[in-house]
Chain A
Amino acid sequence: MAEPFLSIQQVRKAFGATTVVQDFNLDVEPGEFVSFLGPSGCGKTTVLRMVAGFEEPSAGKIVVTGKDITRLKPNQRNVGMVFQAYALFPNLTVAQNIGFGLKVAGMPKADADRRVAEMLDLIKLPQMGDRYPYQLSGGQQQRIALARAIAPKPKLLLLDEPLSALDAKVRVSLREEIRSIQKKLGITTVFVTHDQEEALSISDRIAVMYGGKAEQVGTPFEIYNRPATKFVANFVGTLNVFEGTVTDAASGKVRVNSQEVSLQGKLNGSKSGDTLSLALRPEAISLGRHPGRDASLSGEITEVHFLGSVIRVRVGIGGSTVSLDTFNSPASPPPAVGEKAEISFSSGDMLVLH
């Protein structure tokens, strides 16, 4: 296997007595788009700033294409970065902003102008070169910040919550644009976000972070469907959590609200009598019995939310409430609150949280 493009090895960072990043390991392949996903304060920015060179790790190494850059200054790293607060230079025009890195690098003016025009085309703002940042919307400013970061052809692109200051619509269209530009240029990218939908939709791989550690690194599919820890399962996506008691460890029988389900092969060494946290995604549950769904629980409908193409239904089962989604069908009326209901699912879809 080829060596990783970026390798973060056993990195730790402490500010005074508080350790904010620890045992952080991550290899990023060339051209890969990796997201750091986690709640605010979990250390995402700190890791990114260590890769950029703004913070020095307290321990560990950061290697890019086999070269140790841990102690290199930010202006010697040839890394592009996009900040949450746009950070365009207010005294420079759009074209001068994009050309800043080129000018610093001493590129001849004619070449730099050509590159700037190319970048303006890439971000689909070809007419904006002479404007000043204050004349632009937030979304436009962030696209220019992206163009400025990639104009000098950096080895690595870092984005720290670049979309969080924008409104919802712009956020979605811009994240797709960022991803398509990244694919087009094949630039290795690390993207920081606290928005799980954002991370799931555009990443090749996601590192879910919590308390300064990477809890799980995997593809969006793996992270969503096979969360390695309770934290990951809860943080990514909506989850219905049940308490279950193991009644027969050998055959995988677990009792949930006085109803029994079989979780053969998933108990991971739990003994009879142990209490488990079990979880189901809303889309893994259907209303009523269905062929192929081997487990079911019964309860009563407590809430119905009509969301258009889907209807989100909450069903009370014993002490807990389960969310599930059914597709809207014009021919049949939606379920009503207070109806008795049975939910079914494949026991294979049930997650046992550790």
Chain B
Amino acid sequence: MKQGSRFWAWLVFGVGTTYFVLPLLATFEFSLRKRRGEYSFDAYRSVFGDPNFQATFTYSVVVAIFTILLGVLLVVPTAYWIRLRLPHLRPVVEFITLLPLVIPAIVIVFGYIRMFGSNSALPFLATARGADALLVIGYAVLALPYMYRAVDTGLRTIDVRTLTEAAQILGAGWTTIIARIILPNVLIAVLSGAFLSFAIVIGEFTMASLLNRPAFGPYLQNIGANTAYEPSALALISFAITWGCMSLIQILSRFAPRSANRPN
């Protein structure tokens, strides 16, 4: 009987792995076929050699970093304050943070274009820097559901109120409390929120395209529409980046405080 259950376990594992790995292998195999009649890394060479690849990718990474910073600055104090002082508002805030999942990005971006156009009171779109800032803000909104949930879950693992009071009575002000006590204790949660934000920003198309920003998402779309082998190479590169992020988080979380793992 033991033998049997082990067989089924391996079978399920095998089917799952095949389902996951086979398309990757197929894509990989296809991406190597750029040169007729033999396998080569030509597609990768052409992707990495494309100055547009480098420019758009760098642009999106920078935007992602700013998005994460904005998200952390916005979400950590908010989630903290809600837990500390306004716990009855939590359902409301949770609902608000879920809205970006329900409202399509295209609606948000059209709203932005109307609100912040060149002739508006706040003409974000009048300059390129302004448009970049608006993109970062838009991405922070898109990442909000993930960031808020991650941080809120992190806060649940510590006794926010007592730790705050313990720090206060020792003379600490709000900045010290958030920077030295709250943030370090929810670091793993913030990191996973950051990772999700990064993943969203790197591939995002709608906002970047409609705000006419030179981001990686529109570049991917453009390559996909105009070449044959490079999109497969790009897909695998994106995949590798995502996996790289995940392992990085795993490694970083080893150095994070052990607080959340405390048994009682």
Contact = CB atoms under 8 A, between A and B. Distances in A.
Contact of B167 (A100, A132, A149): A100
A90 B170 contact: no
A152 interface: yes
A85 B166 CA distance: 11
B162 A83 contact: yes
Contacts, number: 79
A79 interface: yes
B107 to A, nearest CB: 40
A104 B165 contact: no
B176 to A, nearest CB: 6
A80 B170 CA distance: 7
A315 B36 CA distance: 107
Interface residues of B, number: 25
A158 to B, nearest CB: 8
A121 B163 CA distance: 25
Contacts of B180: 89, 100
Given A90-B257, A132-B257, A134-B258, A74 B165 contact: yes
B169 interface: yes
Interface in A97-123: 100-101, 104-105
Nearest to B257: A91
A318 B251 CA distance: 76
A241 interface: no
B171 interface: yes
Contacts of A100: 167, 170, 172, 180
A104 B176 contact: yes
Given A54-B165, A87-B163, A132-B257, A104 B170 contact: yes
B168 interface: yes
Given A87-B163, A89-B163, A74 B259 contact: no
28 contacts: A52-B165, A75-B170, A79-B169, A81-B165, A81-B169, A83-B166, A85-B159, A85-B162, A87-B159, A89-B166, A89-B181, A90-B158, A90-B185, A90-B257, A90-B258, A90-B262, A91-B181, A100-B180, A104-B170, A104-B176, A132-B257, A133-B259, A134-B259, A134-B262, A134-B263, A145-B166, A149-B170, A152-B170
